[in-house]
């Protein structure tokens, strides 16, 4: 039996408890707001990050994976070292399934596409992840167009590997960078979002103790939803 957990995104200044999608003795899953770091900032260690906000409420936590600061959506953390080991194994062996929704710049002609391009992290002077057929690591992303607008498209991305900035780099390599992703050629930040629009919509894994399949789902941030509604209404 598959457990499905839904929760709407809260604002960064909302109550931390409202981000929670699932919590038990060994696991917590949240709908991370965009703009919040998964790990401490090396330049500003006092800046808020997931553990600094969650640990005062839920006790010691271990991070098994992370999202970019600007990316919103599902993140799971372990509440015991044993659960952390189990989650790490699942992510390392790619037995988890991640689904992202991305607003891209441009309108692809294709409906579905598999991008199979090796990637190398920190590959240029701007510290971007780059396609590198010689020194890159294997990286595969499955894409499907969900909705089309005049100058943009909403795409679903299912990464089969977990390279740094994989979705951002693969989309940029195909000529359809995330809208507003200035690092990868997506132009100015999307109005209202002040960044790029990438949301970790769902994550499938097995519970680290019971082994039960879990499907964790996170609703769109309110600003992401508003941008999509504006694109539909204005046909831009």
- Active site positions, annotated: 68
| DSSP summary character for residue 195 | S
Shortest CA distance to 76 belongs to which of 89, 90, 65, 85? 65
**Residue 38 near residue 50 (C-beta atoms within 8 A):** yes
Beta strands 72-78 and 27-32 are antiparallel
SS3 content of the chain, % helix, strand, coil (to 5): 20, 30, 45
3-class secondary structure, 13: coil
* Tokens (6 digits) for 72: 């919103």
Rg of the Cα atoms in the chain:
18
Beta strands 198-206 and 213-217 are antiparallel
Backbone angles phi, psi at 143, to 5 degrees: -120, 145
């Amino acid at each position: 039996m598959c457990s499905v957990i839904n929760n709407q995104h809260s604002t960064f200044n909302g109550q931390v408890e409202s981000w929670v999608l699932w919590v038990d003795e060994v696991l917590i899953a949240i709908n991370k707001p965009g703009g919040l770091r998964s790990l401490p900032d090396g330049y500003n260690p006092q800046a808020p990050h997931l553990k600094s906000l969650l640990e005062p409420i839920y006790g010691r936590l271990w991070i098994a994976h992370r999202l970019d600061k600007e990316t919103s959506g599902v993140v799971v953390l372990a509440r015991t070292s044993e659960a952390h080991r189990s989650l790490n194994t699942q992510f390392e062996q790619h037995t988890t399934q991640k689904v992202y929704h991305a607003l891209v710049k441009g309108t692809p002609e294709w409906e579905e596409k598999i991008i199979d391009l090796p990637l190398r992290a920190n590959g240029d002077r701007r510290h971007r992840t780059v396609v590198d057929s010689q020194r890159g690591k294997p990286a595969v992303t499955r894409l499907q167009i969900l909705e089309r607008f005049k100058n943009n498209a909403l795409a679903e991305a299912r990464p089969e590997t977990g390279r740094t900035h994989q979705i951002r780099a693969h989309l940029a390599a195909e000529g359809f960078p995330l809208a507003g992703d200035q690092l990868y050629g997506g132009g100015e930040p999307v109005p209202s979002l002040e960044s790029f629009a990438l949301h970790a919509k769902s994550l499938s894994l097995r519970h680290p103790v019971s082994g039960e399949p879990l499907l964790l789902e996170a609703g769109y941030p309110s600003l992401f939803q508003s941008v999509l509604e504006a694109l539909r209404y204005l046909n831009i």
